[in-house]
Amino acid sequence: ELPSLNEITTAILEEDPAWQAECVMLLRAAGHLTDWLAADDDHLVPAVGETAPAPTASAVFSPALLEHFHCAAPEAESRIACIVALMREAIRAWPVGQPLRILQLGIAAGGLTRALEPVLAEAGNQATRARLVVADTDESWVSRLATLYTRSPGIEVVHVDATLDALTPLGPFDIVVSAGGLHGLENIALLCANLGGHLADGALAFIAEIVPSAFHDVVFAGTQGWFDAVLVDGVPRGRLRDRERWTALLATGGLVAADAESPRAALPGGSLILATHPAAEAQTRTTAIDEQDATSSEGAPAEPALVLGPTTGFGHTLAKTLHDALCARGRPAALDLSPAVYRG
């Protein structure tokens, strides 16, 4: 006979209290499961254009619990730390004085935004003018985060829909980041398809997402919108996707994924996607700020950037991607893959 769910979660927490949020959510979902399973199919998969009668995730688990789950749970911390490390490497290789426009897609309770604050400060210390725009389709989370960063220079929080029209005056963006935030966006397929129009030539994307799991499908089964996206062989599929499906979805917006097969690219319960937005030969996008910063105040050409990296592994892929991105934007750059000088 199997032990009860209470006994299982108690044993887990005694072994490692860091999994508190997952255990509490599992117990709370179990309490709702009977009602969720008793509902008809339309409760989980509403007709197109209709609003699901299911409660929102915040109504079931409370915003505080969801914040802990998305920001402080072990797997969430791994995703956030991975993106922050990649951003630090990107900023270290970014040409001094060149504006850096960063787009965070998906708030995911704000954990990544908070973790990026010191990274933006570091960029300022090396004369890189970095600006972070945080975008989400959930108005309630946008309102909460915008209140926190009302007086924070260099950080702007905006509500978007799948057209991403609200991003037009704020881009084009040089780097796109997300840590468990993409799957929570509404109309994600259309949103990804429209993303390319807001990216600079040679833009980078650092995406860490949650892989599909029975845990998430059980815990979020009865919440609004979890199973309303796709039917596969008549069975509703949840919001989560594996790396291959995210790669294909991002490709519709012109983002080409690089090889991420290395130990560093492995995330507990997640997948990492490193992608670039190649320069479009038939279309050039310039802004006044780009033209102003293309030369120094004396009119001399911009100093070439030196990108350092190892000869193999994930660091090699990142260094080469950064070098190609800078060259695509017309910035002089040199690539040095000598192990003797790399200190990453």
The rounded average pLDDT for each run of 10 residues, N- to C-terminus, in the chain (344 residues) is 86 90 89 68 48 72 90 94 93 87 96 95 81 95 94 93 96 96 93 96 94 90 76 72 92 85 66 86 37 42 61 62 64 61 43
SS3 state at 104: strand
Name the token pair of 297. Answer: 């105040």
C-beta separation of 91 from 123 below 8 A? yes
**CA dist., res. 61 & res. 67, Å (int):** 10
Structure tokens belonging to residue 28: 């709370």
| H-helix or E-strand spanning residue 178 | strand 173-179
DSSP 130-154: EEEEEEES-HHHHHHHHHHTTT-TT
| Whole-Å CA distances, 327 to 123, 198, 260 | 21, 19, 21
Contact between 216 and 187 under an 8 Å Cβ cutoff? The reply is: no
Q: For 207-241, write each residue's pLDDT tens digit.
A: 999 999 989 988 998 888 887 655 566 667 788 99
CA distances from 43 to 34, 39, 119, 214, 239 (A): 13, 6, 43, 19, 16
Q: What is the model's pLDDT at position 48? A: 46
Give the pLDDT confidence score for residue 343 in this predicted structure: 43
Token digits for 224? 């609004």
Question: Is the CA virtual torsion 312, 318, 320, 323 positive or negative?
Answer: negative
Query: How many residues appear in the chain?
Result: 344
Q: How far separated are the first and last CA of the chain, in Å rounded?
A: 52
Looking at residue 341, what is its pLDDT? 44
CB 109 within 8 A of CB 66: yes
Beta strands at 235-237 and 230-232: parallel, antiparallel or unpaired: antiparallel
Nearest to 208 by CA among 110, 315, 105, 326: 105
pLDDT at 288: 37
Cβ neighbours around 300 below 10 Å, total: 8
How many distinct helices (H) and strands (E) make up the chain? Answer: 13, 12
Looking at residue 48, the DSSP 8-state letter turns out to be T
Structure tokens at 319: 């260094």
For 48, residues 6+ apart whose C-beta sits below 8 A from its C-beta are none
Residue type (1 letter), 12: I
Q: Tell how far CA 69 is from the center of its chain.
A: 16
pLDDT at res. 291: 41
In DSSP terms, which residues pair with 209 in a beta bridge?
A: 271
